[in-house]
Structure formats: structure tokens, C-alpha cells
Amino acid sequence: MTLRSHHQNFTMSNKCSTDAVDNLTKTLDLVIYVPILVFGLPLNIMALFVFCHLLRKWTESSIYMTNLALMDLLLLLQLPFKIHATHHMWATDKKLFCSFLESLYFVGMYGSIYTIACIALDRYIAIKHPFQAKQVRSRKTALIVCIFIWVFVMVAVSPIYTFREDKKDMEDFHCFHGFSNKGWTTAVIVCLEFFGFLLPAFVLVVCSAQSVHTLKASKSINPMRQAGVRIIYSSLAAFLIPFTPCHLAILLQYLVRNDFILDCKHQESIALFIQVSMSLANMTSCLDALCYYFIAKEVRSTKNTVRLSISRARATSTSEV
């Protein structure tokens, strides 16, 4: 009995407190989330309206961008719950609902990641291999890929329902915080970092670099090619800026949770870093608006180019007659 009490006291005395970080992030969350909601919601709703109504004829690009807008909206709709959960404790009977919201949040995040990677791959095929692209790229293929992304990400995040502490005497809790040790095992973090970030990041960077090189190496530089380069750069920004810091923070937090980092000052810094980086990761819903703008502009340019080519062909055939 004495040894057990001594062990408990020893554990508690060596446990670092992050109360100061938690209090600070309550303010930071409002500063970050409110502008993201204010700008992100109308931008993504407007994007859906443009791609689904104004452009009318669907292309591979517009299908992918519609899917990205849906993922961003799913991410944004969780922010009011995150804000509430940061400032209020939830009753223990809300754990299942909390896990549902958390799963939707990660579906939106990693769905966005994979959609951006697929956009880069689709564009790479169209630019680097234009003749083979006619056989590989199609609206049907793009739709199938988007459906697969939804199914894959929903299945991948389903273990979140088991990451909550299962304690009968557990009372109120903070949703979106405090995953159990099941969520910080080596297998979970390795899969998350590799399949959730490194693999799609590798696809995005390689495909983007090859596409930009091909476009810039082309002898004929026209507005459509310049628009293509802008889309590629905006996609890189929408991916790397929000998602790189948060996945680095997840790795560091894994080291803390598994006792690789024991210094309290380092733990406090990492706790602040992961809170801020996860909050800033929601910026992707606003940064994707750059992609929406350039994609819509490219589609309109493509339509104008096609119409001009048709009118020229008709004029030529008329003059020959």
C-alpha cells in the first residue's frame, strides 16, 4: 500500500502541467477560428455555386475542386463545436457524439489532403502525358476517385471512436482534446504520418515540380499555361502551409506521450505548438480559395479558346467555299 502510494506521488510530481498553454489557446482559438469561419464558409459555398451552377459543363478539374470544397465545408462545420469544446466541458454521455464530430473533422482534413494530391496527379498526367491522358482522364474517373477518397478516409479515421478513455467514473471532458494512449501508439502515428501526410505530400511535390518544369520548358507561353502554373503553386501553398507544421507537431507530441521528451519546458512548448498548428491547419479552407479562383478562370479560358477555334474554323471553311 505504501509502495503504491509512493509510486502515485512520484508519478504526479513528475507530471508536467500544461494549464498555462490551455488558457492561452482558449484565446488563440477564437482569434484563429473566427476569421477562418467568416471567410471560409462564404468562399466555399460560393465555390460550390460556381462549379455546380455557373460553369454548368463539368470537367475533371471542376469535379475535384467540388470535392475539395465539400471537404473544406465539412472541416469548417466542426469549428463551432471546437470553439465550444475549448471553453466548456462536455458531459460524459456526449462522448459518442464527440467522437463522431472528431471523425468528421479528420475526414475533412485528410479528405482535403488526398483531394489536393489527386488534383496534382491529374494535372501531371494532363501536362506531361497529353496523349495518354485522353485514355486515363475522364469525368467518370474523377468521380470514382472522389468517391474512393471519401470511403478510404472514413474507414481510416474510424478507430477514433476507440481513442477516448473508457472510464465509468469519468465525468465531464473536453471534446477534441485528450485522446487516450491508444491514439498515440507507434503504429497509429506511423500510419498517420506516412499515409496521412508524407505519401500525399510526396505525390504533390513530385507531380507539381514535373508539371511546372514541363510548362516552363514549353516554347509557347500562353495565358492557359500561366494559369496552370498559378494553380500548381496555389495547390502547393494550400497543402504545405497548413499541414506541414501540424504533422510535425503530432510527431513531437508522440515523443512526449511516449516519454522520449521529459523536460517540462519542452513539453509545454510542444503542447503550445500542436494547439496552434492544429488550429492553423484549418486555414486550408481559405487557401483552397486560390485554387478555386484559378481553376474557374482556367475553365472559362478553355471555353473561350474552344469557341475562338470553332469560329476560326468556320471562317476558314466559308472563305474556302
User: Which of 13-22, 64-73, 122-131, 134-143 is the least confident region?
Assistant: 13-22
pLDDT computed for residue 52 by the predictor: 81
pLDDT computed for residue 7 by the predictor: 35
Over residues 116-139, the mean pLDDT reads: 88
Per-residue pLDDT tens digits for 246-263: 999 999 999 998 989 888
What is the pTM assigned to this prediction? 0.84
Binned at pLDDT 50, 70 and 90, residue 13 comes out as very low
| Second CATH level (architecture) for the domain 23-306 | Up-down Bundle (1.20)
- Please state the domain extents for the chain: 23-306
Residues forming beta bridges with residue 263, ordered by sequence position: none
Q: Are 147 and 86 in contact (CB under 8 A)?
A: no
pLDDT computed for residue 67 by the predictor: 94
Q: Is the pLDDT of residue 83 over 80?
A: yes
Q: Is the pLDDT of residue 316 over 70?
A: no
Over residues 100-115, the mean pLDDT reads: 94
Q: Is the pLDDT of residue 64 over 50?
A: yes
Over residues 178-205, the mean pLDDT reads: 91
Over residues 90-115, the mean pLDDT reads: 92
d(CA 236, CA 204) in angstroms, rounded, equals 7
The closest alpha carbon to 106, from 202, 183, 208, 203, belongs to: 183
Per-residue pLDDT tens digits for 199-238: 999 999 999 999 888 888 776 556 566 667 777 888 898 8
Q: SS3 string of 283-301? A: HHHHHHHHHHHHHHHHHHH
Per-residue pLDDT tens digits for 259-313: 898 889 899 899 899 989 988 899 888 888 777 766 666 555 544 433 433 344 3
pLDDT computed for residue 196 by the predictor: 95
